[in-house]
Amino acid sequence: MGKRVWNLNPGPAVLPEAVLEEASKAVLEYEGKGMSLMEMSHRAKEVDKIFKDTEADLKEIMGLGDDYSVVFMGGGASLQFTMIPMNFLHDDQTADYVNTGSWSQNAIKEAKLLGKVNVAASSEEREFTYIPKIFDLSPDPAYLHITTNNTIRGTQYHFDPDVKVPLIADMSSDILSMRRDFKKYSLIYAGAQKNLGPAGVTVIIIKKDMLERVKPGIPTLLSFKTQVEKESLFNTPPVFPTYVVGLVAKWIKSQGGLAAIEAGNRKKADLLYGCLDEYSDFYRAPVNKEDLSWMNVVFRLPSEDLEKKFLAEAGEKSLIGMKGHRSVGGVRASIYNAFPYAGVEELVSFMKAFAKKEAGIGV
């Protein structure tokens, strides 16, 4: 593998080098079978093993047992925005959502097309710079939906809500980045392209008792019942992207599981937020301290001109992908699981030099 840039893209995002090397080989030939994995039947025993192993590895990493199933589907998290109310929001019910930013809003918008929605909490009045801790649930909601990490504003749930209703979480941008009490969740979903693999597959972890709640008469493919019963093989699933998710799961295990991944992410976040603190006269992190995302570190500079200059000069140092989301501007450094500590060191040393050069701040 050639010289790599420091890829701070918000997603699709950096993947472990060992995963890329293995995946590259599988494109040519898989397990000495004389064909590419991309040419292999989705009903071949090799592919079956990929799906089964990946499910088992993910459940092991998350500490989940036989009461959960894992499903692999195309369509992205956005398809889940529709599938969740389509499956679980019955006509006489209300679904509760917590609004912590754009992705929550998209989930809410799609649910409203299909049924009644109650926004149980929102941080919109403070521009999504914090995570609400108190939820105003409706009397008997179909479920409560949260978005555990807001990639755009850089907030993250550092707790798992205690509720007596089925808890559903979009974990697209922070799944497997820290230990969580995954057993509290009835359904977890994540587009793979941040912490789990490439774009093209969504991982859905579903508690089996949820299947009893699935509405009858919905499209067969989009029923979680179908997906669980057919073990993701109702139709041809995205085999290659799922395979890469499997490699990432094995990589997480090889790193020491979630405890080790969490320690690594905390160390990276501490270093980067430490720099923002130290240089708070120059860099401004708009987010509530206790809700700071370990995945997406969002900050502003004194002016938009300086932000442009910052991004351009960072690019020259091979620190790429830090332009803030088009809806909010600013700078965003995405430091997902596979982003190396050495890259954060590089970034921090660049940030210090930049602050010194532009404003004479620091030593």
Q: Is 237 in the site for its own copies (CB under 8 A)?
A: yes
- In sequence order, the 6+-apart residues with CB closer than 8 A to the CB of 147 are 98, 100, 101, 103, 104, 107, 169, 170
Options 127, 159, 208, 236; binder of its own copies; rule CB under 8 A: 236
Q: Is 241 in the site for its own copies (CB under 8 A)?
A: yes
Phi, psi of 7 (to 5 degrees): -90, 100
Q: Which CB, 78 or 93, lies closer to its own copies?
A: 78
Considering only 90-98, 146-154, 211-219, 303-311, which stretch makes contact with its own copies by CB under 8 A?
211-219
Q: Which CB, 68 or 81, lies closer to its own copies?
A: 81
Q: Is 350 in the site for its own copies (CB under 8 A)?
A: no
Q: Which CB, 74 or 362, lies closer to its own copies?
A: 74
Phi, psi of 96 (to 5 degrees): -100, 135
- Nearest one of 127, 179, 175, 169 to 152, comparing CA atoms: 127
d(CA 270, CA 171): 22
| Residue 172 CA, distance from chain mean position | 3
Q: Is 141 in the site for its own copies (CB under 8 A)?
A: no
Q: Is 254 in the site for its own copies (CB under 8 A)?
A: no
| Smallest separation (angstroms) from its own copies to the CB of 135 | 26
Q: Is 4 in the site for its own copies (CB under 8 A)?
A: yes
Q: Which CB, 15 or 58, lies closer to its own copies?
A: 15
- In sequence order, the 6+-apart residues with CB closer than 8 A to the CB of 330 are 298, 299, 300, 301, 307, 324
Residues 14-53, one symbol each (x = binds its own copies by CB under 8 A, - = not), give xx----xx-xxx-xxx--xxxxx-xxxxx-----------
- Nearest one of 196, 155, 153, 173 to 61, comparing CA atoms: 196
In terms of C-beta density within 10 A (0-12 exposed, 13-18 middle, 19 or more buried), how is residue 164 classed? exposed
Residue 139 is given by DSSP the state: S
Where in 74-93 is the site for its own copies (CB under 8 A)? 74-79, 81-82
Options 235, 254, 288, 349; binder of its own copies; rule CB under 8 A: 235
Pairing of strands 202-207, 144-147: unpaired
d(CA 66, CA 253): 19
Options 31, 208, 209, 220; binder of its own copies; rule CB under 8 A: 220
Q: Which CB, 2 or 139, lies closer to its own copies?
A: 2
Residue 220 is given by DSSP the state: G
Kindly list the catalytic residues.
103, 170, 194
Q: Is 318 in the site for its own copies (CB under 8 A)?
A: yes
Point out which residues bind its own copies (CB under 8 A): 1-5, 7, 9-15, 20-21, 23-25, 27-29, 32-36, 38-42, 73-79, 81-82, 109-110, 113-114, 191, 193, 197-201, 217-222, 234-241, 244, 318, 321
